[in-house]
Amino acid sequence: MPQKRVVLRNCGVIDPRRIASYLDRDGFKALAKAQREMTPEEVVGEIKASGLRGRGGAGFPCGLKWDGARKAAGNEKYVICNADEGEVGTFKDRYILERDPFSLVEAMAIAGYAIGAKTGYIYLRAEYHRFLDLLKETINQVNQSGFLDDFDIEVREGAGAYICGEESALMDSIEGKRGESRYRPPFPTTAGLWQRPTIINNVETLMNIPQIILKGASWFNQIGTEESKGTKVFSVSGDVQKPGVYELVMGSHLRELVEELALAEDIKLIQVGGATGRIVPYEMIDTPLDFESILGAGAVMVCDKSRDVIDIVCRTMEFLTEESCGKCTPCRQGTEVMLEILERFYRGEGLEKDIRDLEDLSRVMMLSSLCGLGQAAPNAVTDSLQYFRDAYESRIAGNEGGVKV
Amino acid sequence: MSQQGISTRHQGREDLVVLLKEAQSKFGYIPEEVIAGLAETLHIPVNDVYGVASFYSFLDTKPLGRNVIRVCKSLPCYLKHSQLIIESVAREIGIKPGETTADGRFSFQLTNCIGACDGAPAMMINDEVHVDLTPEKIARLLKSYK
């Protein structure tokens, strides 16, 4: 399936510092249409009908989230844009923020109208501090042009924590606390920021909103597959000749992205979805990229045949161990124990029982961790055990090849 | 008031992270007096303020150098030989990751993914991102930070 620019349609086309260039591209027509021609209920209905699902990794239906917050009791509600892009290998939101911040602000204003919120927050990761001035200038220009009369947007900066990309940890961080995941229910749509109804959407999810409102749900839901409507923006890195950001129609094959566009060769495996993502062996390169198969937040990291799969899994687990917030035991302890075992394999000192322990631990973490980090932390381990079991078995101490290969 | 010039326009718990960041950029770290002062002004326990200050990787409770180098060690950079970059930086400024130079010019840290994987290997110096690094580039680059 082809490349298609929906989310990125203005990137490289408009001047992100001049609202006039955005207005020339139908800027704020969607907001005007929503406010003048549609009720909040109709706006939510349109998003529901579009089939848009969250682009931050979880894939939750956006319209359902909005509907929940719209119907929730209370006068004080919030819209949050999750710009805490911290997943390993993801940089698409950075690409969007620096090229088309106007669409994002317009989308947030539409969301505010739809759920009845007067305040929005953009939670920007500390590593993206350099975009703070641009975002503030964008909000300022939009405000001065009279498009934010009923809606205030504030940019809140993170302070360096992967876990704050997780929605409940993000809200705790805005509240001035350690970014630790919350128990759910209650869900943010009824008790989110300061226990008030809140929607949190990823940057890329929001970028779709203005066009869905302008062109209609029936335009949007013709793009993509049964369960995955629209396009997806991918961040491609690793062993490729052309790393970068690519937008493809949902359901496009992994091969098209990594071999045809990013020009990868001699592929051994591809990690899709970052540290909490899946490991796809080359034999499965014709897997479609959509919610039905694999997707995550769209991080696509390619490893060629010179790479050592145990090394890759080790680095992945090292990241998760460092970034676990520490609130729940399965994640805090599980990632540490896994790393210890994996490093043993890396040194060629694996034990017979280690593989079984990894599998047992994976099950426990998936079942009992508090949030997505711990639940998905074992993915690289279980996938590599499934597709590259030899790499482990050959490095059990005493076995032939019990050294780094 | 022991906050040493940290803005007092914010008054609520929700501004704790914002205020700690202000302190970090003003002093290069978060001094104990600031932690105690914020606890008093915001009416939250000292250990709670410390808990937040020590949670985030861009907040430090020990003094840092004037320039903070953060070399990315996550997988996309690792695949592009971030180890060589780490070694070059160490050689160039004579300290290991986790340390600060005696003259206070540089602190050297390793960090997780900074979202510059299309330019791996990458690092941040203060708020700036430097991409497509090579050992040769490092020396030249570091000279521009005084």
When pLDDT is averaged across residues A40-50 and rounded to a whole number, the result is 98
What span, in angstroms and rounded, lies between the C-alpha atoms of A36 and A286?
45
CATH number of the domain bearing residue A167: 3.40.50.11540
Domains: count for chain A: 3
Return phi, psi of residue B54, to 5°.
-90, -5
User: How far, CA to CA in Å, does A39 sit from each of A35, A103, A171, A197, A278?
Assistant: 7, 21, 28, 19, 41
Query: Do residues A119 and A161 both lie within one domain?
Result: yes
Total count of residues recorded for chain B: 146
Q: How far is CA A203 from the centre of its chain?
A: 9
Q: Is A393 exposed, middle or buried (0-12, 13-18, 19+ CB in 10 A)?
A: middle
Residue A244, domain extent: 231-304
Residues of B within 8 A of A173 (CB-CB) are: 17
Query: Do residues A314 and A275 both lie within one domain?
Result: no
Edge-first strand listing for the sheet containing A152-157: A152-157, A119-124, A78-83, A198-202
Read out DSSP for A100-127?
A: -HHHHHHHHHHHHHHHT-SEEEEEE-GG
Nearest chain B Cα distance for residue A164, angstroms: 10
Write out the two tokens for A250. 């949902």
When pLDDT is averaged across residues A313-329 and rounded to a whole number, the result is 96
Beta carbons of B75 and A177 less than 8 Å apart:
no
If phi > 0 it is left, if psi is from -120 to 50 it is alpha, else beta; for residue A266 that is: left
Nearest chain A Cα distance for residue B43, angstroms: 13
| Structural domains of chain B in order of their starting residue, each with its CATH number | 13-55 (no CATH), 67-143 (3.40.30.10)
Q: How far is CA A355 from the centre of its chain?
A: 30
Beta carbons of A238 and B58 less than 8 Å apart:
no
Query: Do residues A212 and A253 both lie within one domain?
Result: no
Taking CA–CA distances from B52, the nearest residue in chain A reads A178
In a domain, A36, yes or no: yes
Residues of B within 8 A of A236 (CB-CB) are: 118
Residue A2 has what pLDDT?
Answer: 79
Nearest chain A Cα distance for residue B51, angstroms: 7
User: How far, CA to CA in Å, does A349 sit from each of A260, A339, A404, B55?
Assistant: 39, 13, 10, 34
Write out the two tokens for B137. 């580039």
Taking CA–CA distances from A316, the nearest residue in chain B reads B75
User: How far, CA to CA in Å, does A287 sit from each of A254, A255, A281, A284, A386?
Assistant: 6, 8, 10, 6, 16
Residue A398 has what pLDDT?
Answer: 75
In a domain, A7, yes or no: no
- pLDDT above 90 as % of chain A: 96
In a domain, A226, yes or no: no
Peptide bond between residue A101 and the one before it cis (omega within 30 degrees of 0): no
Q: Which residues, at least 6 apart from B25, have a Cβ–Cβ distance to it below 8 Å?
A: none
Residues of B within 8 A of A130 (CB-CB) are: 127-129
Per-residue confidence of chain B (146 residues) as pLDDT tens digits? 344 444 444 468 999 999 999 999 999 999 999 999 999 999 999 999 999 999 999 999 999 999 999 999 999 999 999 999 999 999 999 999 999 999 999 999 999 999 999 999 999 999 999 999 999 999 999 999 99
Query: Do residues A182 and A281 both lie within one domain?
Result: no
Amino acid of residue B42:
L
pLDDT at A323 over 50: yes
Among A287, A304, A321, the domain boundary falls at A304
3-state secondary structure of A300: strand
Q: Which residues, at least 6 apart from A43, have a Cβ–Cβ distance to it below 8 Å?
A: A34, A110, A113, A114, A213
CATH number of the domain bearing residue A291: 3.10.20.600
Query: Do residues A112 and A216 both lie within one domain?
Result: yes
Query: Do residues A160 and A195 both lie within one domain?
Result: yes
Write out the two tokens for A240. 């490729």
In a domain, A368, yes or no: yes
In a domain, A5, yes or no: no
pLDDT band at A400 (very low <50, low <70, confident <90, very high): low
Residues of B within 8 A of A303 (CB-CB) are: 79
In a domain, A118, yes or no: yes
Residue A182 DSSP class: P
Q: Is residue B126 less than 8 Å (CB to CB) from chain A?
A: no
Output b/e per residue, B13-41; b: 16+ Cβ within 10 A.
bbbbbbbbbbbbeebbbbbeebbebbbeb
What span, in angstroms and rounded, lies between the C-alpha atoms of A139 and A145?
10
pLDDT at A402 over 70: no
Test the A interface: residue of B112, B123, B130 with most A CBs within 10 Å: B112
pLDDT band at A227 (very low <50, low <70, confident <90, very high): very high
In a domain, A249, yes or no: yes
Query: Do residues A295 and A175 both lie within one domain?
Result: no
Q: Is residue B142 less than 8 Å (CB to CB) from chain A?
A: no
Taking CA–CA distances from A245, the nearest residue in chain B reads B118
Q: Which residues pair with A301 in a beta bridge?
A: A237, A271
When pLDDT is averaged across residues A189-195 and rounded to a whole number, the result is 96
Nearest chain A Cα distance for residue B108, angstroms: 16
In a domain, A43, yes or no: yes
Taking the CB of residue B43, how many other CB atoms lie within 10 A of it?
9
Residues of A within 8 A of B52 (CB-CB) are: 176-178
Q: Is A390 exposed, middle or buried (0-12, 13-18, 19+ CB in 10 A)?
A: exposed
When pLDDT is averaged across residues A347-368 and rounded to a whole number, the result is 96
- Look at the block and give the residue holding tokens 């529901």: A48
Which of B19, B74, B141 is closest to A87 using CA atoms?
B74
CATH number of the domain bearing residue A347: 1.20.1440.230
Write out the two tokens for A207. 């970028």
Among A252, A275, A304, the domain boundary falls at A304
Taking CA–CA distances from A240, the nearest residue in chain B reads B118
Query: Do residues A299 and A327 both lie within one domain?
Result: no
Which of B131, B100, B90, B81 is closest to B29 using CA atoms?
B100
Among A178, A193, A220, the domain boundary falls at A220
Return phi, psi of residue B104, to 5°.
75, 15
Query: Do residues A97 and A162 both lie within one domain?
Result: yes
Beta carbons of A88 and B112 less than 8 Å apart:
yes
Task: Output the pTM of the full model.
Answer: 0.95
Query: Do residues A212 and A329 both lie within one domain?
Result: no
Q: Is residue B18 less than 8 Å (CB to CB) from chain A?
A: yes
HSE-CB of A149 using CA atoms within 13 angstroms: 6
Query: Do residues A197 and A328 both lie within one domain?
Result: no
Query: Do residues A210 and A344 both lie within one domain?
Result: no
pLDDT band at A1 (very low <50, low <70, confident <90, very high): low
Taking CA–CA distances from B119, the nearest residue in chain A reads A243
What span, in angstroms and rounded, lies between the C-alpha atoms of A289 and A21?
33
